[in-house]
Structure 1
Amino acid sequence: MEWQRRVDAVWASTGERSEADVVAAIDALVAERPADDPSAVFEAAGARDFAGREAEAEPLYRRALELGLPDPWRAQAVIQLASTVRNLGRADESVELLQRELAEHPEHELADAARAFLALALHDARRPTEAVRTALIALAPHLPRYRRPIAAYAEELGTS
C-alpha cells in the first residue's frame, strides 16, 4: 500500500528529522485518511509517543484499538500504549495491559517485546522478582547456550 510505504519512509528517516518534523510529516499523511481509519490514528499516536508527548498519544492508541486496528499493529499499539501509561506513572495499568496481551496472544511475534516492556512495568510497580523472571523468560529462547537452565531458573523465581 502506497500510504503505508510513505509512513514507513518517515519512520525510517527519524535520525535525520526533529521530533516536531516527524509529528508534522506523520500528521500530513494521517490527514489523507478518514478520521476513523485505525491505522492513521495509530500512526498519529506513535508520532506523539516518539516526540515524548505521551499524554497526547494515550487517547489516540486507545482510539486506534477501539476502531479495530489489525495485527501486527494491534499488538504493537498495546505494547506502545502500555509503555506510554508506564511513562505517565501508571505502572500497574501497564502491567495489566501487557499481562492481558500475553494471556490472549502468548505466541504472537511481538510476545517477547511485550515481555520486555512487562519487565520494565513490573520493575516500576516495585515487583522486582517478577520483573527479572519475565525478562529471563523473554531472553531464554534466544540463547544459543544455557537456554534450558535460564528458563528453569526463571520458573524457580516464580515460586520463591
Structure 2
Amino acid sequence: MTAPEARWERRLEKLWASFDDHGPDDFLRRIETLAAELPPGDAVALYELASAHDALDREEEAAALYRRALAAGPPGGRRRRAVIQLASTLRNLGRAEESITLLTTERETHSDGLDDAVAAFLSLALVDAGREREAAALALTALVPHLPEYGRSLTHYTRALTAGEHT
C-alpha cells in the first residue's frame, strides 16, 4: 500500500469510528467525499459507499453498490466482506434464498478469518427461509473450534439436528 493509500485508509477508518457522531446525511456526504478521491468506478470506493448506505438502512442502494463493487473486483478482505454484506442486505430485503446461494458459494470456495461471519449470516438467512434446524447446526458447527472441551459432543448434536433427530 502506498503512503497516500494508507493515509486515505486511516481517514476512512477514523470516519467509520465516528459514525455515531454524525447525522445520516452528514455521514453519507463525508463517505461520498472520500470515495470521490478515488477513480470513478473504483471497487474500494463502491464498497465503502455500499457499506455507508447499508449502515444507514438504505438497503436497495447498498445492494446495487455492493454488486458494482464486486464486479469491479475489490482487493483483499473487502471482496469477502462485500459478499457477506450483500448477502445480509439481500436477507433484509426479503431475498433469503439469494442470500443463501451467495453465502453457500462463498463458504464452499473461500476460507479465511471471516469463515465464522459467513456461517453466522448464512444461519440467519436459513432461519428466514424456514430452515431453522440447518441454521442451528451451522451456527453450532462454527462454535466447535472455540469450545475444544465440547467439540465432540457438539459435533454429534449438530449431526443429529440435520438428520432430524431429537438431541
TM range (shorter): over 0.9
Between structure 1 and structure 2, the one with the greater Rg is 2
1:147 is aligned to 151
Alignment size in residue pairs: 159
8 Å contact from structure 1 (residues 137, 154) kept in 2: yes
Once the two structures are TM-superposed, the CA of residue 55 in structure 1 deviates from its matched residue by 0.3
1:49 is aligned to 54
- The percent identity for this pair of structures is 48
Deviation digits for residues 21-62 of structure 1, max 9, x if unmatched?
221111110111111210010000000000000000001101
The 5-angstrom pairing of residues 30-41 of structure 1 reads: 30-41=35-46
Once the two structures are TM-superposed, the CA of residue 6 in structure 1 deviates from its matched residue by 0.8
2:74 is aligned to 69
8 Å contact from structure 1 (residues 19, 50) kept in 2: no
2:87 to 74, 82, 89: 82
CA distance in 1: counterparts of 2:151 and 2:22, whole angstroms: 40
The 5-angstrom pairing of residues 10-159 of structure 1 reads: 10-105=15-110, 107-159=111-163
Runs of 4+ in 1 over 6 A off after TM superposition: none
CA distance in 1: counterparts of 2:105 and 2:149, whole angstroms: 30
Deviation digits for residues 40-95 of structure 1, max 9, x if unmatched?
10000000000000000001101111111122110100000000000000000000
TM-score (structure 1 length as normaliser): 0.94
8 Å contact from structure 1 (residues 92, 125) kept in 2: yes
Query: Which 5+ residue runs of structure 2 have no aligned equivalent?
Result: 1-5
Greater displacement, 5-14 / 135-144:
135-144
CA distance in 2: counterparts of 1:21 and 1:135, whole angstroms: 37
Once the two structures are TM-superposed, the CA of residue 144 in structure 1 deviates from its matched residue by 4.9
TM-score (structure 2 length as normaliser): 0.91
Once the two structures are TM-superposed, the CA of residue 155 in structure 1 deviates from its matched residue by 2.5
Query: Which 5+ residue runs of structure 1 have no aligned equivalent?
Result: none
8 Å contact from structure 1 (residues 82, 94) kept in 2: yes
Q: 1:145 to 1:22 in 2, by over 3 A?
A: farther
